[in-house]
Amino acid sequence: MKILVTGGLGFIGSHTVVELQNVGYDVVIIDDLSNASEKVLDGITAITGKKPLFEKLNLRERNKVEDFFHRHNDIEGVIHFAASKAVGESVENPLLYYENNLSSLVYLLKELVKKKGASFIFSSSCTVYGQADAMPITENAPVKNAESPYGNTKQIGEEIISDTCKAHEELQAIALRYFNPVGAHESAEIGELPIGIPQNLVPFITQTAIGLRDQLSVFGDDYPTPDGTCIRDYIHVVDLAKAHVIALQRLLNKKNKQRYEVFNLGTGRGSSVLEVIKSFEHVSGEKLNYKITGRRPGDVISAYADTVKANEELGWKAELDLDEAMLSAWKWEQKIRS
Ligand SMILES: NC(=O)c1ccc[n+]([C@@H]2O[C@H](COP(=O)([O-])OP(=O)(O)OC[C@H]3O[C@@H](n4cnc5c(N)ncnc54)[C@H](O)[C@@H]3O)[C@@H](O)[C@H]2O)c1
């Protein structure tokens, strides 16, 4: 069975390709290499022993997307990761984000609704909840005004998919709202490859420890949390990748209850920034150079998932813990700098 993975050479996409191949799917990757390297294909192949098909294609080019689906008319499911994801850049260049994240989604859906039956998995984010009123965050928590154009593309993306499912009976879809994906494959063959200064905590930690950055700034220790630093739900990327396979199979096996469904993907455990640093120091044996600075505008205080729906309805549960994620991220950082 042939599955299309867009953005399949990126961080979460590459780990998902591995898990899809591990259970026997044929994978075709589309990626425009705007935030990935073709070398990731070698990492995937080293793990699975099978090189996935790859097409360098920009999903903003509608004719090329149409042509791709003509040539691959046997695709039965699509997992759509391709998007621009830098929050700060989206504030500076909103049109780039609306164009890239939304036109690519629309062009894909236009092809899928032409098919007899189509299963579609969308990368959404816990940013849709903003600062939720209650913890842990359930899927029923209200969607708050987006803090950035990037966050808005996830909210609008969900609405586009929901509307399209209502109008086209053949389409069924699941939006997966990720909390904070971290870590790398245990083989250290694939992992996160941030371009420039990392936006996320874990690659910033590992780059500081390896000597690429002088110091990590912890943005604020005066939040109303036990140690004063912000709390997030860090989910191992391999657990996250496995959830995509399970969500896809739910659609392919017609186990879904509605034609458009939403699930949170997190561990259900909140960790503070200082706890993440402690976990890193514990598993790596390194002392991290960090300092406490002022709060960063736009940061929510706390966000962690209620996992009941994902556990009971989807049948997926995170298995790896923060220490395992930090160790895998550290092994990956050491490998790419060696
Ligand atoms: N990493 C996170 O913290 C996080 C959290 C929540 C949601 N998400 C979402 O998950 C998805 C994957 O995230 P990631 O961390 O793996 O990002 P990533 O940047 O590593 O992967 C995205 C991939 O899409 C490709 N791409 C971008 N625009 C494209 C286009 N127009 N045509 C073809 N390819 C294109 C990039 O080259 C890249 O390889 C994204 O949609 C992101 O918004 C990520």
| pLDDT band of 72, cuts 50, 70, 90 | very high
The predicted-structure confidence for 133-187, as pLDDT tens digits, reads as follows: 999 999 999 999 998 999 999 999 999 999 999 999 999 999 999 999 999 999 9
CATH topology of domain 2-179+236-265: Rossmann fold (3.40.50)
Beta bridge pairs of residue 5:
29, 79
Domain boundary assignment for the chain: 2-179+236-265, 201-232+268-337
- In the chain the first and final C-alpha atoms are separated, in Å, by 38
CATH topology of domain 201-232+268-337: UDP-galactose 4-epimerase; domain 1 (3.90.25)
Q: Indicate whether 117 pLDDT > 90.
A: no
Whole-number Å distance, alpha carbon 97 to ligand 1 midpoint, is 12
* Residue with CA at minimum distance from ligand 1 atom 6: 125
Task: Check residue 331 and give its pLDDT.
Answer: 98
Task: Check residue 147 and give its pLDDT.
Answer: 87
User: Do β-strands 271-272 and 231-232 pair in parallel, antiparallel, or remain unpaired?
Assistant: antiparallel
Q: How far apart are CA 26 and CA 76, in angstroms?
A: 10
Whole-number Å distance, alpha carbon 175 to ligand 1 midpoint, is 15
Query: Same fold for the domain at 2-179+236-265 and the one at 201-232+268-337?
Result: no
Whole-number Å distance, alpha carbon 13 to ligand 1 midpoint, is 8
Task: Check residue 338 and give its pLDDT.
Answer: 87
Asked if residue 218 lies in contact with residue 291, where contact means CB atoms within 8 angstroms, the answer is yes
- Written as six digits, the tokens of 76 are 């039965």
Three-class SS of 55-74: EECCCCCHHHHHHHHHHCCC
Task: Check residue 253 and give its pLDDT.
Answer: 97
Average pLDDT of the chain is: 97
Integer-rounded Cα radius of gyration of the chain: 19
The predicted-structure confidence for 179-196, as pLDDT tens digits, reads as follows: 999 999 999 999 999 888
What average pLDDT does this structure show over 254-261? Answer: 98
For the entire predicted model, the pTM comes to 0.98
Ligand 1 pocket, CB under 6 A: 7, 9-13, 30-36, 58-60, 81-85, 100, 104, 123, 125, 178, 181, 200
Active site residue 98: no
Which of 150, 178, 234, 304 is an active site residue? 150
